[in-house]
Amino acid sequence: MTYSDDISILRRQGRCTDMRLYVNIDHVATVRQARMTDEPDPVRAAVLAELGGADGLTVHLREDRRHIQDRDVDLLMDTARTPINLELTAAEEMVALACAWCPRQATLVPEKREEITTEGGLALDTETQRRPVGDATRRLQDGGVHTSLFIDPDQDTIRISADLGAAAVELHTGEYANTEGAERAAQLTRLSDAAAFARSVGLAVHAGHGLTYENVAPVAAIDELEELNIGHSIISRAVLVGMERAVREMSEILRRARRS
Ligand code: PXP
């Protein structure tokens, strides 16, 4: 089955209208790793996220393995009923693992050991920065993995992403999420313009980072966006109301935003 087969199955099931919610379950693993024990299990959380209506599952296997472990990806590849989006750096070891797992989708991200979470999009200004990302994109796409690049919402970076052979870009919504008022409105316009441009050069358009129940609706209403990756806010709510309900509530906000 190909990536587009997955999407058409979700559409037939009424699970995927024109916006997919991919739930990032990294922070379930963060709680587990705080005690180096076996609970809570992100694989069990994945089942509940699917029951709550997730269209896909996102996991970031960091080089430092600070949250998701190889064992989690192994089990998810066997048990998930929705597509897996594996986030990884373009480092040789990580790309080799991803090619062996062959998830439906991969998203190449930058990674710094000292950061709390992914801080910005991929830097693609110089040939030295572009080469590993281009090589990783080619290897993953040749292996049948729909490959997306996590980038800031800028025209030049979008054009470079297309030139590197990516199938999609994930627009970094962090600056939108971290601002307020007129500044946030300007960031929303920036995201909307970037989404339109990415679509015009043939890329599928995803977005994510820092999106919450409170700030997601205007982003979800951007017509060209077809997938949102949301983690921290959903997992935080799940601690209080349960995973299924937390995902269902986010899904409902996205559906309403699309309708309006
Ligand atoms: N997209 C990417 C590429 C990410 O690295 C992250 C954070 O792991 C997310 C989306 C989700 O961000 P958040 O946890 O803030 O929803």
Pocket of ligand 1 contains residue 170 by CB under 6 Å: yes
Give the residue, by CA position, lying nearest to ligand 1 atom 9.
209
Any ligand 1 atom below 6 A from CB of 148: no
| CA 177 to ligand 1 center in whole angstroms | 12
Q: Which residue has the tokens 């029951």?
A: 51
Residue 24: strand pairing partners: 58
23 C-alpha vs ligand 1 centroid, how far in Å?
9
- Give domain limits for the chain: 3-259
Q: pLDDT of 114-148, one tens digit each?
A: 677 767 899 999 999 999 999 999 999 999 999 99
**Over the stretch 199-256, which tens digit does the pLDDT of each residue have?**
999 999 999 999 999 999 999 999 999 999 999 999 999 999 999 999 999 999 999 9
The answer, yes or no, to whether residue 7 has pLDDT greater than 70, is no
β-pair type (20-24, 225-230): parallel
Ligand 1 centroid from CA 62, angstroms:
12
**Catalytic residue from among 146, 172, 206, 209:** 209
* Spatial separation of the C-alpha atoms in residues 234 and 23, rounded to whole Å: 8
What distance in angstroms lies between residue 171's CA and the mean position of ligand 1's atoms?
11
Residue 225 in contact with ligand 1 by CB distance below 6 A:
no
Closest-CA residue to 233 (of 211, 249, 255) = 211
Between CA 225 and CA 19 the distance in angstroms is: 7
pLDDT digits (tens, 9 = 90+) for 177-196: 999 999 999 999 999 999 99
- Is any ligand 1 atom within 6 A of the Cβ of residue 118? yes
122 lines ligand 1 (CB under 6 A): no
The alpha carbon dihedral of 213, 27, 207, 143 has a sign of: negative
Is residue 67 in contact with ligand 1, taking CB distance under 6 Å?
no
What is the C-alpha to C-alpha distance for residues 93 and 39, in angstroms, rounded to an integer?
Answer: 27
Task: For 3-259, give the CATH class.
Answer: alpha beta
62 near 68, Cβ under 8 Å?
yes
Ligand 1 pocket, mutate which of 28, 209, 254 (most atoms under 8 A from CB):
209
pLDDT tens, residue by residue, 63-105: 999 999 999 999 999 999 999 999 999 999 999 999 999 999 9
- Tokens describing residue 224: 């060209």
